[in-house]
Structure 1
Amino acid sequence: MRSFTTGCARCGHVAAFPAYRCRACASPLVLDLAPVSAADCRPTSGRGLWRYGRMLPRVRHSVTLGEGATPLLPLRHGGATTHVKLESVNPSLSFKDRAMALAASAALDHGMTGLVLASTGNAAVSAATYAAAAGRRCRIFCATGSNAGSKLATARAHGAEVELVAGHYSDAYAAATRAEGEGWLNVTTTYRNPLLTEAYRPIAAELVDDLGDVPDVVVVPVGAGPLLRGIWLGFTDLVAAGLTGREPQMVGVQAEACAPLARAWGAGDRGRAEWAAALRQPFEVGPTAATAIADALRGYEDEGLLTLDAVRRSGGRIVAVGEPAIAEAGHRLAGEGLFVEPAAAATLAALRNPVVAGSERANACVAVLTGHGAKESSTLTAGGMA
C-alpha cells in the first residue's frame, strides 16, 4: 500500500486525514500517493479490493466482501471492440462497493463510530453493507427527489439509520456535511472525502489485464465524477510504472435533465475559470430515470472541476444523453442479458452519440455499467426501461 498526504486541489495546503475541505480556501482535497512500480500494479493473493492493494492508500484494516475483479464482456451488437465492465455485480450491486470497502477500513483505523453520507441510493446500500461488515453504524441522508425507496429499504435491513431530506441530492449533501465529525466518517461519494476516489484506481489495471492492452475510450456515467477520475488516476499509475504508454480517452456521460458537467464542458475554452463560472450558473433539474447521476452540484461546484480536469487531460469529453436514448440503451443491454439501472445504460447511449462515435480513438471502447437494475424500480416502469 502507498503512503499519502492530503492536500488542497487548488492551493496545495496540507491537511491531516480525515479532512474534507481546505481550511485556507475551502476547495476540495485530494490525496497525493507515493509512486508505484510495475509490480505494485499487478494482482496479489489478497481478497476483494485488496488484490490490487498496492495501488491503494495505506490503511491498516482490509474490510472486504469480495468486491472488485468484475467481469469484462464484449457486447454482441457492439462488435469485438466494445466491452462492458460489470460493476453492477459487486456485492451490493454497484461500483460504490470499492469505495466503501476502503472507507470502512479507514473508519476502523481511526476508531470511528460509523459512516455518514448523502446518497441517491446506491451509495446508501453500499455504505450500509460495508458498515455492517465492519461492525460500524451507518447514517444516511437521502433526498426525497431521489426515488430510492427500494434501495433505502435494503440499507435499513443492514441496520442503517435513514433520514429523508426535502429536495434533491445537493440538499442531502448539505445535511450529511453538518453531521460529519465527532466519530462519523463522511463517505459521501462526490469528492467530499478524498479517500474514496482512490478506490477506483484498480479498475484501470483490471481492464488492461483483461483486454491485454489499454482501451481507446472508457465511458463512465458521472454525477460529480469521482469514478471517472479514479479510473483515470489508475491509468496514470500504469503509465508511470512503465506498463503502458498511453491513457484512454475518458468520456463522462450525464442525463440531459441534469447535466452541469456537460454544460460546463461546452462553455468555452475548457479552463478552470470558464468551468467554474458555468458550474455556478443556475439551471432547472428536470425529471430523469437516471437518478443515480442526477447531481446538480449545488453548494459544492468546485468538486466538478476535478472531473473536468481529468477528462481534459485524458483527451476525452463529457456528453449528455436524453431519456429516450437511455431507455433504448437499457432495452438493448437487457436483450443481451444485462439488466442495469438507467444511469448505467446511459453509457451505451453515449457510445451511440455521434460526438463519441466519431472520436479519433474510438476503436476499442469500454462502457462501465455502474449499477444493477434490480435495485431501481424505475427500470421496471413505463417511465424507465419497460
Structure 2
Amino acid sequence: MTRQPCDKLIALLRFDGSDRPRWYCDRQLQAYFTAAGYNLEEPEPTAVFLLQKFQSQPNHDDAQYWRRGLFCYLQETSWSVAMTLREKLGGMHQVSDCFQQACCLTNDPLKLLSKFKPERGTRLSTYAYRRIYDGVYAALVGVRKSDWGLLKHSGSRSLSAALKNQGYTEDRVRQICALVKLWQELADQTTAPDQALLAQVAKTYRQCCPDLPAVTPSEVKTLLHEAIDALRAYQQPQVVNPAEQRFWDTLEGGNTPWEATLKQEEQETLKRVFEMMKNAIAALDDTSRQVFCLYYCEQVSQQEIAQRLGFPKQYQVSRVLERIRGHLAKVLLAGLNQPTHPQRLKEVTVAINLWLKGGYKVLRASCQRCGRVGMAEHCRYEGAS
C-alpha cells in the first residue's frame, strides 16, 4: 500500500467499516502546504525540514500543520509496522490494533523523533520504523526486556505507581521500593540474584530501613518478583489495549468509521482469545491447574509453589508452567488458524506469559475457587462476568 510522492505529506489511511483501509487527502493541509510553497514532490527532505521547524518553534501558529504533515509522512511506515507485527504476533492482534498504536506514537513526532540526526545519512522513515516498532510491540505485548532488566531500569515513581495499581498498601509499597532500590545499587548484572546477593540486600535493608519490617533473603526474592509482576501488569494490563485519545478525534471531531471498526475488532478479539484460554485452562490436569492458579491467579512464587505442592525442586514447577504456556500457545494458534512452527510457537508463548502475568485479575474473576486453590479438583473456570 503506497502513495505517490506528492501525496505523502497530505494523505492518511482511513478505515470505512471494513478491514480494507483507503487513502484520503487532508484538503486543508494540502491548501496550507501549497500556499506556503512547500515542495510536495520531494517528501523526504520536506519532512525533515518540517521536523526541524517543529523542533525549533513548537509553539508557532503553523506548528499544527507541521505536525499533521509529519503524521501523514509516517503513515506508510506505521502501516508497514502494523503488517509486520500482525504476522509476528501470530494473529493475536488485528492489523488495525497495531496501526492504531502506531498512530498514537506518530501523533507526537517531537517525542518520537527527538534523537533523529539527518546528518548521519539515515532516512527519516527508516529511523522512525524501529522507534514505532518498539513502541507498538511494548504497548501490545510488553516491554522488550528480561524480567530483571525491566526491574533494574525501573524508576521509583513508575514502580510505586505499578504497585499501587495492583492494590498494595502504602507501607508495602515503601518496603518493596526500598528493596528494589537496594538491589539496583548492589546488583552488577540484570540477572536473577543469587543467595549471597539476596542476603546482602536483606542485611543492608535492615540497616538502612529500621522502621520497616525485617525480611529474610527468600522474602527479598519474593518481593522482587512481585515488583516485576506489578511492572509487567502496569505496562500490559490486557490483551487488547483500550481505546485511547486518537489523532482522529482532533482531525475529524468525533466518532468515525475507524472508531466503530476498531471497537468492534477489540471486543471480538478479546472475546475469542479469552474463550479459547478459558477452555484450554479448564482442560488441564489437576496438578497443572493447581500450579497455574497459584502462579498466575494468586501470584505465588515458584519456590513457594514447590513447597506447598511437594515438588522436590523448584525447576520442576518451571517445567510445568512451561508446558502449560506451550499448551495454551498451541490452542490459540490453532484457534486463530495460524501455523505452529517452532519460531511462531515460541513468540506466542512469550506473549501469553506476559498477558497472563498482567491479566491475573481477569483470570481470578473467572475462576470460582482461586481463593482456595489448594484443592485443585474444586477449581473450575466459568465465563467472564
TM-score (ref. length: structure 1): 0.25
Pair member with larger Rg = 2
TM-score (ref. length: structure 2): 0.26
Q: Which has the higher strand share?
A: 1
Q: Which has the higher helix share?
A: 2
